[in-house]
C-alpha cells in the first residue's frame, strides 16, 4: 500500500498539479504540501477529506487504506472515516490513527461534520456500547444533558461518557462496571475539559 505522500504525489501528477497549486486547493502552505509528500509531516483528517474532494476519490483511498479510488457514495449516503484514537490536545485525527470508513445517511448530516470512533473500552456496556463498536460521532464542542459524548479531561485520552452539567460542574457518567469506572466530576473553571463530539449512532462490532 502506498503512503499518503506517495498517493498525494501520484494524484497530483495525474492532473498536472504542482505543489503551489496543490497548496491553494488544500488551503495550506506550499511547505506543508512538500512535507506531506516527503513524509516529513503526517496528514490529518481534514487534509485527507480535502484531498478526496479535490480529486474526487474515496476517503479510504485518499487515506491510503484502499487501492480503489472510486467514490462509492450515492445520493443517500456519505463516506466518513473511522479512527481508533483522537489527539487529546486538540481533537485532531491523524492519518496513522484512521482504520477504516463507514457510510451514513446524507440527509442527517445537513452540512455537519461526522467521523467514526472505535469504542476503546467497556465503560458504557449498560448503554449497549461495547468495546470495539464503531461510534458515529457528530463533531461539536457542546452537548445537552443526557447526551453520550467523546470528551477529554486534563489532556488524557478521549473517553466516552454520558454528559450532565449544572452551572460550572460537569458529571461524566460511565454505564459500565461501577467498581472499575467511576463518574468523573469536573469543575470547568479549574479543570481543562472539552467535548470533541456527540455520539449519534452505534454500530455493533461482531
Domain residue ranges of the chain, discontinuous segments joined by +: 4-109, 140-199
Q: Which residue has the cell 486538540?
A: 90
pTM, rounded to two decimals: 0.88
**Long-range CB contacts for residues 20-26, cutoff 8 Å, separation at least 24:** 25/50, 25/54, 26/50, 26/51, 26/54
pLDDT for 77 equals 87
Q: What is the pLDDT of residues 135-144, one digit of tens each?
A: 999 999 999 9
Alpha helices in the chain (DSSP H): 4-15, 19-26, 30-38, 45-55, 59-62, 106-109
pLDDT-derived band at 178, boundaries 50, 70, 90: low
pLDDT of 73 strictly over 70: no
Fold annotation for 4-109: 434 Repressor (Amino-terminal Domain) (1.10.260)
pLDDT over 80 (residue 74): no
Confidence band of 75 (pLDDT split at 50, 70, 90): low
pLDDT at 177: 66
Does residue 72 carry a pLDDT above 80? no
Express each pLDDT in 127-164 by its tens digit: 899 999 999 999 999 999 999 999 999 888 899 999 99
For 9-49, the pLDDT digits (tens) are 999 999 999 999 999 999 999 999 999 999 999 999 999 99
Res 68 pLDDT > 90: no
Q: What Å distances lie between residue 7 and 13, 65, 66, CA to CA?
A: 10, 11, 11
**Rounded Cα distance, 34 and 38, in Å:** 6
Domain 140-199: give its CATH code: 2.10.109.10
Please give the Cα distance from 169 to 26 (Å, whole number): 40
Rounded (5°) CA angle 110-108-133: 125
What are 188-200's pLDDT values in tens digits? 888 889 999 999 9
CA 131/CA 119 separation, integer angstroms: 5
Amino acid at each position: 500500500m502506498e503512503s499518503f505522500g506517495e498517493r498525494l504525489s501520484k494524484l497530483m501528477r495525474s492532473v498536472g498539479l504542482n505543489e503551489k497549486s496543490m497548496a491553494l486547493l488544500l488551503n495550506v502552505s506550499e511547505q506543508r504540501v512538500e512535507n506531506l509528500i516527503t513524509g516529513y509531516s503526517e496528514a490529518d483528517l481534514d487534509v485527507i477529506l480535502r484531498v478526496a474532494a479535490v480529486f474526487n476519490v474515496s476517503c479510504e483511498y485518499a487515506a491510503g487504506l484502499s487501492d480503489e479510488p472510486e467514490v462509492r457514495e450515492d445520493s443517500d449516503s456519505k463516506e466518513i472515516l473511522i479512527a481508533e484514537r483522537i489527539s487529546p490536545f486538540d481533537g485532531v485525527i491523524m492519518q496513522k490513527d484512521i482504520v477504516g470508513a463507514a457510510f451514513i445517511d446524507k440527509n442527517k448530516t445537513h452540512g455537519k461534520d461526522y467521523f467514526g470512533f472505535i469504542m476503546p473500552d467497556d465503560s458504557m456496556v449498560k448503554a449497549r456500547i461495547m468495546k470495539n463498536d464503531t461510534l458515529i460521532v457528530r463533531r461539536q464542542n457542546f452537548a445537552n444533558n443526557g447526551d453520550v459524548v467523546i470528551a477529554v479531561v486534563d489532556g488524557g485520552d478521549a473517553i466516552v461518557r454520558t454528559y450532565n452539567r449544572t452551572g460550572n460542574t460537569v458529571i461524566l457518567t460511565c454505564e459500565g462496571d461501577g467498581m472499575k469506572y467511576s463518574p468523573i466530576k469536573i469543575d470547568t473553571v479549574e479543570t481543562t475539559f472539552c467535548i470533541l463530539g456527540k455520539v449519534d449512532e452505534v454500530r455493533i462490532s461482531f
